[in-house]
Structure 1
Amino acid sequence: MKKILSMVLVSALGGIFTLSAYKIFIEENHSNLVTTTETQPVLLPTTKVNNTIRPYEAPDFSLAAENTVNAVVHVKNVTLSSGQMTFQDFFYGRSSQRTQVGTGSGVIINADGYIITNNHVIKNAQELSVTMNNNKTYTAELVGADSKNDIALLKINADEELPFVTFADSDNVKIGEWVLAVGNPFNLTSTVTAGIISAKSRDLSGTSSQSFIQTDAAVNPGNSGGALVNTKGELVGINTAISSQTGSYIGYSFAVPSNIARKVIEDILEYGNVQNGILGIQGGALNSAIAEKIGVNETEGVYIDSVVEGSGADKAGLKEGDIIKEIDNIKVSKFSDLTGHLSAKRPDDVVNLKLLRDGSTENIAVTLAKNDTFNMPLVGRIKNATRSDLKPFNLKNGVKIIQLNGEYAQYWKNNGISEGSIITTINDTKVNTVDDVQSILKQRTPHESLRIELINTNGERERFNFR
């Protein structure tokens, strides 16, 4: 009987151990396997997460480069120079002029052979030639140039249609956007470098008259006039200048925005010269010091100090103290933002300004006027005289002095000439407009005296002769 009870007890204990082992080792492991199966899909997005890295990788420039290098040419400029005086010149007389060859780059902008480059690349050229990427060389003709924006237009005649680069809207380029610089640095043809747009509306003159695109794509002497293109191979700028203490690339360079370059060449083709539309204000960019001085809280924008009489700004009702914040929905932080946009406009174009006036925001449309002012050497800034300007002096012609040259202002005042005086004659030729003044000055030889006849604000006639 005891043996039977012992066997039953052992059997019961064995059953308990067996059931416990099943619960612990088999059933729980089965639960873990099910959980793993259900969570497996969570691991699938790992591959998709890795794909998000791709937009941050450097783009492939090969297609843009291939299309652009064939449309960028090597420009050669032959000039005549007397050079510096030598010891022999004192004994045997001045030697004949010497031939000098300058080089740069250019961009073909249509299949007919029009090429855009920098004015400084072709300045004083006696002969111009361009060499294509396929080593064909053509004689080039200068169609026109604009020294202010440093843009020139050339023309070559080829037997076949030429590859060309299309324009992009440079207002839409963004800081950080990838770009290619294509040109011929150091006579190395068809050179391509890459970088990003590092800044916009850069002014190197200190007068807010420039509005360059700044890039860190490597640009060196010889790149001038070459193409700055986006990843689509579209032209966003004409490489123009570098800022360097050595004369070579040190980290950034500057390009004329494509919108300005395109407007300049369109004006040259249509009008023969550049048509400048002006807003008609004088002022400056805001910063903390200026804001405190004039008593405003704004540190970004263009502060209007004065409005030119009869200008588009005057007719639209702009006032001293207004602060321009936007032009055509483009933010204005500094004066070069404003001048850069206006450089792509013509007389009679309409621009829309957002400005602050007495703490309130206003939107005003301004029709740009033709630039009827000119900074005349020795004298200062002059403008076309209106009938009301001429009537008090019983005059039928003349231009009005609106601002005396700072260097010679005291001389003029000592001789009875002040702002408001009327210039009637220059070098014995009557003047009616500032265009007349510019034409007379261009025709004047370096050794010819400058003879000016004026009517001062007292109605007295004065004559001056400068040698």
Structure 2
Amino acid sequence: MRSSMLRVCSFIAIGAIIAAGTAWAAGTGGTGTHALSATKINGEVYVKASSLTSALGGTGTFDSKTNTYAYTTADIPSVIKKVSPSVVAIIGKPKDVGSADPRYALAHGTGVIIRADGWIVTNAHVVEDMTNLVVVTADGKKYDAERTHYDEPSDLALVKIKATKLPIAKLAATPLNVQVGETVVAIGTPVSFSLRNTATSGILSGMNRSISSAYKLLQTDAAINPGNSGGPLVNMKGEVIGINSLKFVEVGVDNLGFSIPADTVQYVTNHFFKYGHVKRASLGLSLEESWSALIGIPTSDPLTVKTVQSASAQKLGIKNGDLLYKVAGKQVSTIVELNELLKAYLPGQQVEVMLQMDGDLVTKKLTLVEG
């Protein structure tokens, strides 16, 4: 937690689902229109039951005796029941306990099981200065734990426990199919370790936020308190759409929390498992945003080169004061936009950059370096 930001196949006729879909949309803040897999037989449109539950969440049961399909809409209690088994509490000792009684000088946070053999994702700041890690699962079992991977720019880390057949969370598919106004649920360990697996609900308040982070964040008004960091932000299908990371703490500010989107979580954890660390691609340049970009005004202003750090960039003649307009054909005006774009690349690959150099717009092929 940092400064003023706290870091926390059956088929059914389509007519049979219209009322259920409308009720779901009205009750949870979801959209009323969904593209569902369907087929047309003798002029009647039929929809896959699995397509319905996949799109809207909830559950369905077909009764062959009565030839009826009973669909139960997703609600907050069912989402919590589905996801909570994969949410863990993490506790440990801070490296610096000062004059505090070492028995009670403890720090804690939350994590999400992403692999059944004991791999847990959490925030980097949760385990950054923590020793003697212990993980407690939702069923009350206690495990000694080890921090195995750590990435400060994304604020993500992996923790490992010796266990098998653990219930895993389902990360939402990317790109995220979510929209502002959807109902979301946050699960975590707020304030006290005895309050583990506390659930709060709200809506997805905003997307693509750039708040003290290297990558875009999701914004929510679901209560995220100290200790919620590393826990999941979940949609009504029971999918983890984000890992709760931070919140604004200031007099007069309410319900302003932020989560790391599932696509960034997948990007970072895939690199952890494949390379042992995040092989983050960089242009090899230190860049500065315009005044408009810094204060959040929509702008097409370019980024200004402040220093040239890589040999590749130096060979291209890039120098301090040059202006960067596009990378891979896409306009970039903020550092976060650039970081998001570079998630698709690895160091050593080449990317086309458009710059203004000595008053002229030029396009060059730049070899990316690890940053």
TM range (shorter): 0.5 to 0.7
1:135 & 1:227 partners in 2: Cα distance? 19
Q: How does 1:300-449 map to 2 (within 5 A)?
A: 300-305=300-305, 308=308, 310=310, 320-324=322-326, 332-342=332-342, 345-349=345-349, 367-371=367-371
Q: Structure 2 vs 1, CA of residues 231 and 313 (structure 1 numbering), >3 Å: closer, same or farther?
A: farther
Q: 1:313 to 1:128 in 2, by over 3 A?
A: same
Task: Sort the Cα spacing of 1:197 and 1:366 in 2 relative to 1 into closer, same or farther, 3 A.
Answer: farther
Quickly say closer, same or farther: Cα 1:162–1:214, change in 2 above 3 A: same
**C-alpha spacing 1:269/1:339, structure 2 compared with 1 (3 Å):** same
Counterpart in 2 of 1:142?
147
Shift of 1:183: 1.4
Q: How does 1:39-438 map to 2 (within 5 A)?
A: 55=25, 57-58=27-28, 59=30, 60-62=74-76, 63-79=78-94, 81-84=96-99, 100-169=105-174, 173-187=178-192, 188-192=195-199, 193-204=201-212, 209=214, 211-245=216-250, 250-286=254-290, 299-305=299-305, 308=308, 310=310, 320-324=322-326, 332-342=332-342, 345-349=345-349, 367-371=367-371
Structure with larger RCO (C-alpha < 8 A, sep 6+): 2
Query: SS state of the match for residue 220, structure 1?
Result: coil
Shift in Å at residue 353 of structure 1? 6.3
**Higher alpha-carbon deviation: 213-222 or 355-364:** 355-364
Name the CA distance, whole Å, in 2 between partners of 1:176 and 1:302. Answer: 32
Question: Alpha-carbon deviations, 1:88-123, whole Å to 9, x = none?
Answer: xxxxxxxx9665221210000111110011122223
Cα deviation for residue 352 of structure 1 reads 6.4
How far apart in 2 are the matches of 1:355 and 1:180? 44
Percent of aligned positions with the same letter in both sequences?
31
TM norm structure 1: 0.53
Partner of 1:14: none
SS of 1:162's equivalent in the other structure is coil
Structure with a larger share of its residues in strand: 2
Alpha-carbon separation, structure 2, partners of 1:122 and 1:283: 30
2:52 — aligned with what?
A: none
One-letter amino acid matched to 2:88: V
Residues 312-357 of structure 1, C-alpha deviation per residue, up to 9 Å, x if partnerless?
A: 6667897823423x7686x745332222443575313555668899
C-alpha distance in 1, partners of 2:75/2:362? 44
- 5+ residue gaps, structure 1, are 1-47, 86-95, 291-297, 372-467
Q: CA RMSD in A?
A: 4.1
Which protein is bigger by CA-based radius of gyration?
1
Q: Matches of 2:276 and 2:270 in 1, distance apart?
A: 9
Whole-angstrom distance in 1 between the partners of 2:190 and 2:176: 27
Deviation string 1:156-206 (CA, Å, 9 cap, x unpaired) is 12243433333532666544454332212234232332321413241327x
Matches of 2:136 and 2:102 in 1, distance apart?
26
Count matched residues.
300
Q: Give 3-state SS (helix, strand or coil) of 2:83's partner.
A: helix
Kindly indicate which of the two structures has a greater share of residues assigned to helix: 1
